[in-house]
Chains A and B, each alone.
Chain A
Amino acid sequence: MLYFSKWKAFAILAVSAIICLMAVPSLLSPAAYDSLPSFLQRKIVLGLDLQGGSYIVLQVDAQSVRKIRLEHLRDDARRVLRDAKIGYTGLAIQGDAVQVRIRDGQDVDAALTQLRALAQPLGGPMSTSGQLDTDVARDGNTISLTPTAAGIQSRTIQAVSQSIEIIRKRIDQLGTTEPSIQRQGADRIQVQVPGLQDPSRLKALLGQTAQLTFRLVDNTMSPQQALQGRAPAGTEVLYSQDNPPVPYLIEQRVLVAGEDLTDAQPSFDPTTREPVVTFRFNTNGARRFAEATQANVGRPFAIILDNHVISAPVIREPILGGSGQISGNFTVQQANDLAILLRAGALPVPLQVVEERTVGPGLGADSIRAGLIASIVGATLVALFMIATYGLFGLIANIAVAINVGMIFGVLAMLGATLTLPGIAGVVLTVGIAVDSNVLIYERIREEARAGRSAISAIDAGFSRALATILDSNITTFIAAAVLFYVGSGPVRGFAITFGIGILTTVFTAFTLTRLMVALWVRWQRPQRVPI
């Protein structure tokens, strides 16, 4: 137990030193860190609770995915039946299905063939599973199209992926460093923006679908009349964002949609000096906008964002250049954010904020300071106690524990793991437990010596017997830490990471470093008597 070959001793010291050194890049200034070669650019990420920032969890609502899918199915069914010249009535969304009645019984088979083609194979066109995302069923002359649960699920997952892209584009515009946007489970997106002071702005940016449409205002009746239930077919009443909101009667037909925008920038109106957003269409959008404005000079059209009327200017002359501006009593920041939203594009579905945690930078700094003080005080107390109890061997234990802590941070850096406040608690607790390994060894040595063994034999036996116990007790504790990591989220996980790593490094140092240091001392001193 006490013999180490030169190579083994060297390997132990080298591994410990290298792992400890991995922690060093995390301590460097950003400039020094950037100058490191890339394989050394690994550092511990500070959790938002330590550096301040916003954490938001957004959820894609399966219900809205279903609603949008049903609307598309309805529109597709209408197009398909029209193209095939099949007469139908009552095409509408009924509960979880789109239903349509075919006028002529002889056409039903043809209609079924046409409508069946709307169902997409799950997992894309190359999939061989044979499952479809839509059930098409016939009941007499009525055909119903029902999205399947699996179909909705795969669309939800797709919506999450698309949303992540859009969110990334939007957040990149905020200019904060290292935002993290991750999928969480099947239908959630976790967004972490370090250092962001104002979460309401983040929520405003993410909470909007940013579906921009240009549509005509219906002037055939007043919005009030329409609200009393006489709205003409193909129109709806939408409100402005003023206080109180002003109703407008708007045609459902979309002249041009946000997809056709190529650019949007905040600027100032040259005459009124108000903040506005200028935009530019692509060729398709420009052509359609030109046609629509040519045909409707003198009528107002509405610029609508997520079912809110932003402004409703009157078309004074055809707009042919493919660009225009949106004005709407914006503040500079609102104009800026609207431009960001338009540039990044619309979310495929609305997202709901289901969890939000923001820590101000002041509190984060306070927490770091508190954690640091607690660690230093705890470590000092433990170190003094160990030296008082075991003398030189206590010092050896302290060195092993100090290297142990260095290794925890080194491993954290290698993994690129996040250090949180509960994580610091985990380190402090590891110090307590790492000390236990040494206590187990030393107490065992004392026992063996008391049982009448010679010093060297007692030390040797003490190690070999204690190490079995250390392994047993630490494996059980590690299981608890692993379960914590697996089921935990947020603070629990932060704690489990450092605690779990701490247990591993503790076992490593107990088996190697403490033993090596004691062995070196034994070889040097040739003790006749156990010194503890």
Chain B
Amino acid sequence: MRLLRIVPDDTTFDFIRFRRISFPISALLSIVALVAFFTLGLNFGIDFKGGTLLEVRYANNTLNIADVRSRLESLDLGEVQIQEIGSEGEVLIRVAQQPGGEQAQQAVVGKVRAALGDGVEYRRVEVVGPRVSQELLSYGIVGLMMAVFCILVYLWFRFEWQFALGASIANFHDIVLTIGFMAIFQIDFDLTSVAALLTILGYSLNDTIVIYDRIREMLRRYKKMPTEELLNASINSTLSRSVITHVTVTLALLALVLFGGRAIHSFSVTMMFGVVLVGTYTSIFIASPLLIYLGVSTRAMAEKAEKEAKSPNAKAERLAP
């Protein structure tokens, strides 16, 4: 059986020179993302905004959106979004947070039920009060920052500080772009999206580490090679793995997007964007070239190795695992 080879052996793409294009592109995209974030804003779901969400189903084509709309508008509940979803008479109703604290939110469900009358299946009802939504949002932000920080510390111990900083900048870049993507396409930003963001972060990092690992290994082995050449060789030698892995992850995510159901749809789409587009691109075109600017060079490594060779603890650094 002939095996599938997506990437030929011994590729020699000059990825590092591409930084003259990729850095400006990333800078531009980051600005676009930030502008989108500050002008369009994120489409906060009720997890963070508070309010009520109902998913109802009308059996046998009895759904009449105009009728639903007029019934709900007569309730005078402020902003009410009505969205037809799927093809089986399902409607998603979102009611903005009501003035008047926790009890006022609770009253909404009863009012909507009364207004819609019988013959309706309530598939999902969610009510998030003002206190909880505030907390969920701050926990979400704290969680993201804590994760980045913990990872930074780990990498700093495991690699040199340049790698830790490079990975963190790359990570930040991914988060900014993904948030920009969510703002531009107004994808629901809820607890599930925070999970998606953190996963993208972990995954993109995973990818960056694989290449960094190789760079570190080659830095130790080829002490005379020019830095750019060494970075290029590292990326090229891991390229086959990067591509194959991304094909498999894309296949897995594609299945989630196409068949995973609506409940995790925004999660899947965000992951697809973050993991497949941003994650791969970042580790190759941003994280690796960044090391040049952060002062990782073969000469610096050689000096360091020399210094360590003189010190009595020279054994601490192993050359090859």
Contacts and interface: CB of A to CB of B under 8 A. Distances in A.
Contacts of A388: 3-4
B128 interface: yes
A248 B203 CA distance: 66
A425 B146 contact: no
A250 interface: no
A422 B195 contact: yes
A203 B106 contact: yes
B267 A59 contact: no
B314 interface: no
A476 B205 contact: yes
B252 A428 contact: yes
Nearest to B129: A354
Contact of A355 (B55, B132, B199): B132
B154 interface: yes
Contacts of A71: none
A454 interface: no
A343 to B, nearest CB: 25
Contacts, number: 253
A425 B154 contact: no
B195 A496 contact: yes
Interface stretch (A130-138, A324-332, A378-386, A518-526): A378-386
Given A367-B263, A421-B263, A476 B244 contact: no
Binding site of A, secondary structure by majority: helix, strand, loop or mixed?
A: helix
A483 B124 contact: no
A477 B191 CA distance: 19
Contact of B256 (A200, A378, A467): A378
Given A388-B3, A477-B206, A360 B252 contact: no
Interface in B192-211: 192, 194-195, 198-199, 201-203, 205-207, 209-210
B136 A483 contact: no
Contacts of A481: 202
A473 interface: yes
Interface string B65-105: 00000000000000000000000000000000000001100
Contacts of A357: 124-127
Interface-centre pick from A207, A366, A495 (highest chain B CB count, 10 A): A495
A490 B252 contact: no
Nearest to B261: A370
Nearest to B113: A200
B213 A469 contact: yes
B255 A428 contact: yes
Contacts of B154: 475-476, 479
A88 to B, nearest CB: 37
A382 B209 contact: no
Interface-centre pick from B9, B132, B140 (highest chain A CB count, 10 A): B132
Contacts of A468: 213, 321
B260 A370 contact: yes
Interface residues of B, number: 81
A362 B55 CA distance: 12
B147 A483 contact: yes
Contacts of B321: 464-465, 467-468
B123 A480 contact: no
Contacts of B139: 487-489
A118 interface: no
Given A374-B259, A389-B244, A480-B202, A473 B209 contact: yes
A425 B260 contact: yes
A360 B9 contact: no
Contacts of B142: 487
B43 interface: no
Nearest to B109: A200
Interface string A391-425: 10000000000000000000000000000011011
Given A371-B260, A480-B198, A352 B103 contact: yes
B241 A440 contact: yes
Interface in A428-464: 428-429, 431-433, 435-436, 439-440, 443, 446-447, 450, 464
A75 interface: no
Interface of A: 49, 57, 59, 199-200, 203, 207, 352-360, 362-363, 366-367, 369-371, 373-375, 377-379, 381-382, 385-386, 388-391, 421-422, 424-425, 428-429, 431-433, 435-436, 439-440, 443, 446-447, 450, 464-465, 467-469, 472-477, 479-484, 486-492, 495-496, 499, 532
28 contacts: A200-B109, A200-B110, A360-B122, A363-B124, A373-B259, A377-B259, A385-B247, A421-B261, A421-B264, A422-B195, A422-B267, A425-B260, A425-B268, A429-B199, A432-B252, A440-B241, A443-B241, A469-B213, A472-B213, A476-B151, A476-B202, A480-B202, A483-B146, A483-B147, A484-B143, A488-B191, A491-B195, A495-B199
